[in-house]
Structure 1
Amino acid sequence: MLRRMRRWLELLSLGGLAVVGFAVGIAEQLGLLDKVAPKGISTLTLIMVSGVVVVLLIELTPLRALEDIRARLAGLDIDTIAASQRRSHYGGVVEVHKRFPDDEFAAHIAKAKQVTILNTWIPNLQRLEKELEAAIVDRRAQVRIMLLHPNSMLVGLREAALDRSDGAGKTFVSTGIVDCLETLARLHRRLAKRQANLKVRVFNSQASVSVYRADGRYLVSMFLHGQLAIDSPQFEIEGTHDTVLGEQIQRELDMLWDIGRDVDLADWNRSIDMIRF
């Protein structure tokens, strides 16, 4: 209602000014203004200017309201508020990827001081190998790797869920774990004085999720039937101790690490054979 009234007032003001303008122009052409008192012209001019001012005031009122809103927004930290809302309403989830984003996680590794990977085995380990080596050598990052024990009974369960084999009588899962251990052993030899920064443990337990962590950023997936964890949707989560999901995932990492057994990468075959659960 107020908006409609304001609009009608604007139209009446503009219409009145237009009528006065035409009348003054016609009167001047007919010489009628010469008969008006000397102050008549200034009076007409004042009337027209006043009308213009009224119209401008009406138009500028909404603009002042917008300026007030802008001033209030300027005093707010939008990024902080958005992050707080994301933590409280979404548990720390910042994005969902269709599959594992190798390049994006490699970029996180390139800046991280702590890297943790939990998986049955790591099919994309070779794609991350150079970044892991640089993180340890250049920035002295701590890297922890957790894999399923290659002789665990759970290997068969995961094998059945994937319904795959390597065609040589060996299970697909066990072969993947062995390949990872060989890759990590080669990396371990190249680290020289930084070998202590790379720690590998195997576990004999049902992991609920696969986790790739770089500092406070996690990529979390599930062990679905018929597809690898890295080919499943990835939930990107931020916050190790200040988001619901971040805290829960970190507890899972800590629990699997505690129940795992160290692998001596200098002779991983012998080390694996000696591990008993």
Structure 2
Amino acid sequence: MASRLRRTFERTGLYTAACLSIAVAVADLAGWLDLIAPGGTIQKITLLVLGSMALVVTLEVDGFAKLDEIDAKVDAVRRAVAQGFEQGLVAVHPNLANEDYLRYVKQARQVTILNTWIPNLQRLKESLGDALDRRAEVRILLLYPNSMVASLRDDALRARGRSNPEWNVRSGVRHNLGILKELVTEKRRRAGHLKVKVYNSLPSAAVYKADTHYYVSVFLHGQLAIESPQLEIQGSGSLLGRQFQQELDTLWEIGVEIDPLDWERDLERKRL
């Protein structure tokens, strides 16, 4: 509203100046300017120049209005981006790119992965080992393989007529635990920096976290979480960061710790 009113005043002033410029030109041709400023050539030139400038600006006023519209759109985009950062959302990706996540793992002091099981753990293994070598804390949350939720997730992965023997929660969790055991024994790493828990609850999301950077996805039918769209979130204090950090904390509290060096016996001994 204020912009329209300002534009109306601008146009009124420019139209008035343009009309005066035409009147000045006519008056000059008729010799009337000599009555106002006898022998004032400089004054005549000044009046004609100012009048011509007013006429040109009047013709371009719509162009200025379009520039105002562009500025308004830029401001709207800037506000939307700022709001997105306040909420924590950095970008949305079609799937989880291991190399993108590992860039953050490389410098992280705490790494947390929440999933039913981690299909890409073998690709992350070396970087997680490097994190343990520099004494970063690595926390892994896996679904208890004997839970009812594991069967339900298996059914969901077989949806839409798709069947893959590798998409199996029970075998996937056990395979992950085997990889984690290798992780701490290959170079005689300190197992104390690797914390592994299994949970018997319905997970709401898969989360790959490095310090305060998150990649979050949901569990869709017929599709692995790492193959689903990923929300890239920055900041544990942001709106989205707080929500998913709370989910991580809740499942971590629910979970039962498993010794990666003796995981087979722990799974049999600890009933959830």
Q: Scaled by the length of structure 1, what TM-score is found?
A: 0.71
Query: Is the counterpart of residue 5 in structure 1 residue 12 in structure 2?
Result: yes
Q: For the residues of structure 1 that align with 2:51 and 2:18, how far apart are their CA atoms?
A: 12
- 2:265 aligns with one of 264, 270, 276: 270
Determine what percentage of the aligned residue pairs are the same residue: 39
Structure 1 residue 123: Cα displacement: 0.7
Q: For the residues of structure 1 that align with 2:198 and 2:186, how far apart are their CA atoms?
A: 22
Aligned residue for 1:241, secondary structure, equals coil
Structure 1 residue 118: Cα displacement: 0.6
* Residue identity opposite 1:189 in structure 2: T
- 1:104 aligns with one of 96, 100, 111: 100
8 Å Cα contact 2:24-2:48 kept in structure 1: yes
Q: For the residues of structure 2 that align with 1:191 and 1:147, how far apart are their CA atoms?
A: 24
* Residue identity opposite 1:2 in structure 2: F
Match of 1:32 in 2: none
Stretches of structure 1 that go unaligned for 5 or more consecutive residues are 25-35, 70-77
Query: Is the counterpart of residue 162 in structure 1 residue 162 in structure 2?
Result: no
Structure 1 residue 120: Cα displacement: 0.6
After TM superposition, the structure 1 = structure 2 runs for residues 1-277 of structure 1, keeping only pairs within 5 Å, are: 1-12=8-19, 15=22, 43-52=40-49, 85-86=83-84, 91-138=87-134, 140-163=135-158, 164=163, 166=165, 172-190=168-186, 192-243=188-239, 245-277=240-272
Structure 1 residue 253: Cα displacement: 0.9
- Report how many aligned residue pairs link the two structures: 244
Structure 1 residue 44: Cα displacement: 0.8
Q: For the residues of structure 2 that align with 1:200 and 1:215, how far apart are their CA atoms?
A: 17
* Larger radius of gyration between Structure 1 and Structure 2: 1
Aligned residue for 1:220, secondary structure, equals strand
Q: For the residues of structure 1 that align with 2:189 and 2:179, how far apart are their CA atoms?
A: 18
Larger mean Cα displacement after TM superposition, 204-213 or 188-197: 188-197
Stretches of structure 2 that go unaligned for 5 or more consecutive residues are 1-7, 69-76
Residue 177 to residue 9, structure 1, CA distance change in 2 (3 Å):
same
Q: For the residues of structure 2 that align with 1:97 and 1:242, how far apart are their CA atoms?
A: 19
* Residue identity opposite 1:85 in structure 2: Q
Structure 1 residue 236: Cα displacement: 2.3
8 Å Cα contact 2:139-2:194 kept in structure 1: yes
Structure 1 residue 239: Cα displacement: 2.6
* Residue identity opposite 1:86 in structure 2: G
8 Å Cα contact 2:141-2:197 kept in structure 1: yes
Q: Scaled by the length of structure 2, what TM-score is found?
A: 0.72
Residue 202 to residue 18, structure 1, CA distance change in 2 (3 Å):
same
Question: Cα deviation per residue 1:76-132 (whole Å; 9 max; x = unaligned)?
Answer: xx98x76762366xx433322222232322222223222111101011112222322
Q: For the residues of structure 1 that align with 2:97 and 2:30, how far apart are their CA atoms?
A: 74
Q: For the residues of structure 2 that align with 1:270 and 1:23, how far apart are their CA atoms?
A: 110
Q: For the residues of structure 2 that align with 1:20 and 1:188, how far apart are their CA atoms?
A: 96
8 Å Cα contact 2:214-2:232 kept in structure 1: yes
Could you say what the CA RMSD is over the residues aligned between the two structures, in angstroms? 3.7
